[in-house]
Amino acid sequence: METATMNTSDQVIATINYLADPGEKPVSYMYRPPAGTPVRSWHISKHQVAIHNARAIADQLSLDRQGFVLTHQHSRVADFHHDHEVLSVYYPEMERLVKELTGAARVLAFDHNVRRGPLEEAASGVREPVKYAHNDYTLKSGPQRVRDLLAAEAQTLLKHRFAFINVWRPIRGPVEQMPLAVCDARTIAPADLVPTDLKYPDRTGEIYSLAFNPGHRWFFFPHMRAEEVLLLKCYDSMDDGRARFTAHGAFDDPNTPAGAPARESIEVRTIAFFAD
């Protein structure tokens, strides 16, 4: 774990993993690539940055300004590792939550990941936290995902505003290892967002990797509990000055005590559709 020399209750100094200059469009394989092909074509550039305690400004945050908010939600899910329960109970809970907080006319929860880390051994259906600054959708892949999921309705839906909002929560708390850092959307310049291909066996997706910019302002919520949820706006079709992309990634908190339990979390991806 990388340590820091200047840490206070207001911030920590820690490493964020950015994209190094790739020279060409970065590519990552989400499955075993063909022989002789690297899993990823790009390299990481490590930067020490201040990551601020967002609890001090939690009541000032907005999905349309900074791109993220913290709220509370008590879930009825007993076991987040049980896919059927997540799909039947948690997805509807998150659809209701996102609809309430955004004013959307309709919300669709369509995917989720359970993460634990650091992993000592692989567990079925569990992934490690992503320690790399990224945003889950691009100007190209946002509309395409709507087409992929809702082909029959896509032409009509894409005429109106829609937004991809991820809902992240600890399965157990408080989080001490590998908390999630989020970058204030207002501090991300368009040139910082680098389209990156994700190769799947049946399709190619696209995300934004984040290139370093000293103007980035990073935040996290220390010791998040299981009843706390963090909403991240990863795409907004409306280009009117509001937050559209919110880069994020896990990091090693230098204040993590020795022997702290591994972080366990779940993220649900949703699409919020608006009437306007």
Tokens of 85: 């329960």
pLDDT of residue 127: 84
Mean pLDDT confidence for 93-116: 97
Residue 215's φ and ψ, nearest 5 degrees, are -80, -5
User: Quick check: is 7 in a domain?
Assistant: no
Label residue 111 by pLDDT band (50, 70, 90): very high
User: Quick check: is 159 in a domain?
Assistant: yes
- pLDDT surpassing 60 at residue 95: yes
User: Quick check: is 6 in a domain?
Assistant: no
The CATH number for 120's domain is 2.60.120
Q: How far apart are CA 128 and CA 197, in angstroms?
A: 20
Label residue 96 by pLDDT band (50, 70, 90): very high
User: Quick check: is 2 in a domain?
Assistant: no
pLDDT digits (tens, 9 = 90+) for 150-199: 999 999 999 999 999 999 999 998 999 999 999 999 999 999 999 999 99
pLDDT of residue 8: 61
Q: How far apart are CA 45 and CA 87, in angstroms?
A: 37
Domain count, the chain: 1
Range of the domain at 265: 12-273
Mean pLDDT confidence for 85-111: 98
Label residue 123 by pLDDT band (50, 70, 90): low
Mean pLDDT confidence for 16-30: 92
pLDDT of residue 6: 47
User: Quick check: is 5 in a domain?
Assistant: no
Q: Which residue has the tokens 């791109």?
A: 67
